[in-house]
A and B are shown apart, each in its own frame.
Chain A
Amino acid sequence: QQQVKQSPQSLIVQKGGISIINCAYENTAFDYFPWYQQFPGKGPALLIAIRPDVSEKKEGRFTISFNKSAKQFSLHIMDSQPGDSATYFCAAYGGSNYKLTFGKGTLLTVNP
């Protein structure tokens, strides 16, 4: 059972464009939603995270939008740059367990 569904699987954007990655979750006990960025040959690194008591969080060019009623959240990358090319994972945490549940990842390519 996949508890966090991520789309699209891959995304190609032109430099300066907006990249949007979407995730949906099922478990209403989730209460922490981070996004991780992974460059080739490296481990994932925390990019930005949000709690469900806010609808949006912005850090520089990266914004998380959260819709609690729809159980969906998304990552928006404004003014996308070639250096943003990486794999992005959404995740969710909460309930009685001690672990993050990850989406399957989105490979973002930003063309110059």
Chain B
Amino acid sequence: NAGVTQTPKFRVLKTGQSMTLLCAQDMNHEYMYWYRQDPGMGLRLIHYSVGEGTTAKGEVPDGYNVSRLKKQNFLLGLESAAPSQTSVYFCASRDHRDRRISLGGYTFGSGTRLTVV
């Protein structure tokens, strides 16, 4: 059981380039999330999805797009990379069942470290 897998693990981009980060989960979770982590800022939500074909904006969505064409995959796209998007990106998923029963919390991937130069 792999859980949540993120690819790639590391990437260096030049300003203006585009790229897609892939998140795949094998737990049949409905909810999926993309966060970015920056020093002193904690985890900030970029976009999330509550099911296949749905997406919604989080706290810091500007400059990013997402797609959830298949239940198990959640893609994060950077349209035109900027140095301010240098960060560690985490994908997470969650069981949609009543959290008060499962208290299962989120399952996170191991992250993608992105540097934009």
Contact = CB atoms under 8 A, between A and B. Distances in A.
Interface string A72-112: 00000000000000000100010000111011110000000
A6 B4 CA distance: 27
Interface residues of B, number: 24
A102 B107 CA distance: 14
B74 interface: no
Contacts of B90: 43-44
A6 B58 CA distance: 20
Contact of A42 (B40, B100, B110): B110
A34 B33 contact: no
A43 B110 contact: yes
B105 A46 contact: yes
28 contacts: A6-B42, A31-B100, A32-B99, A34-B103, A34-B105, A36-B108, A41-B110, A41-B111, A42-B110, A42-B111, A43-B4, A43-B90, A43-B92, A44-B43, A44-B90, A44-B106, A44-B108, A45-B108, A46-B106, A46-B107, A49-B105, A51-B100, A89-B42, A99-B48, A99-B58, A102-B42, A104-B42, A105-B43
Given A9-B40, A104-B41, 17 more contacts: A32-B99, A34-B103, A43-B4, A43-B108, A43-B110, A44-B43, A44-B90, A44-B108, A45-B108, A46-B104, A46-B105, A46-B106, A49-B103, A89-B42, A98-B31, A98-B50, A105-B43
